[in-house]
Amino acid sequence: SMTSLTDAAQRREHTRNVALDWLACGLDPQQAVLWRQSDLPGVTELAWMLGTLAPMGLLERAHSYKDKVAKGISPNFGLFAYPVLMAADILMFNAHRVPVGKDQAQHIEMARDVAQRFNHTFGKGQDFFVLPEASIDQEMELLPGLDGRKMSKSYDNVIPLFEGGAKALREAIARIVTDSRLPGEPKETEGSHLVQIYDAFATPAQRQAFRE
């Protein structure tokens, strides 16, 4: 099942849980800023301005949009224009490098494209916005979810690190899609969703030991 786009209580709970997860994983609020996008109206205001410079063809080529529609999410303007909102998120703070998964690299390129158009149109010879670059972890380009698709609350295929305790964690891990080989049969580690998820938490030494 997919997360409801209109369930406000569920969205608020997700927002709170994301903040708690980051803090529990060691994010230091003295070194980083945690903020909620909806608390800053300037983001959506900028998104509208950037949207006037975003060609329809550019948005129609978004892999993420096409993938979600193909997987059954009903297309709407919010989904279609999501890369513009993401661009506003990035450009408002003049971010130079943006850590993303491989699937979001195209969105960073779209943000650069829109920023260039804005600079050219309104910059009067100066760059108003910094052109961001994607920073992708080469060892963990894309984290698969329980069903093999990219891990996302939209697909309800995430591992609840701090929700429900050890029992919920075991149940989630047990739902990870594997191949049809029997439990006792040797399995390939390359391309295995289970191994990719393990790699996200393991140290380099643990990864090597697991493969040996």
Both structure tokens of 100: 């993303």
The distance of Cα 127 from the centroid of its chain, to the nearest Å, equals 28
Comparing C-alpha atoms, which of 124, 137, 125, 92 is closest to residue 111?
92
Write a three-state SS string for 40-105: CHHHHHHHHHHHCCCCHHHHHCCHHHHHHHHCCCCCCHHHHCHHHHHHHHHHCCCCCEEECCHHHH
Q: What angle do CA 81, 86, 87 make, to 5 degrees?
A: 95
What's the longest Cα–Cα distance across the chain? 68
Alpha helix segments (H runs only) across 81-184 = 82-91, 105-122, 165-174
Q: Which are the catalytic amino acids?
A: 68, 150, 153
Q: What is the CA radius of gyration of the chain?
A: 20
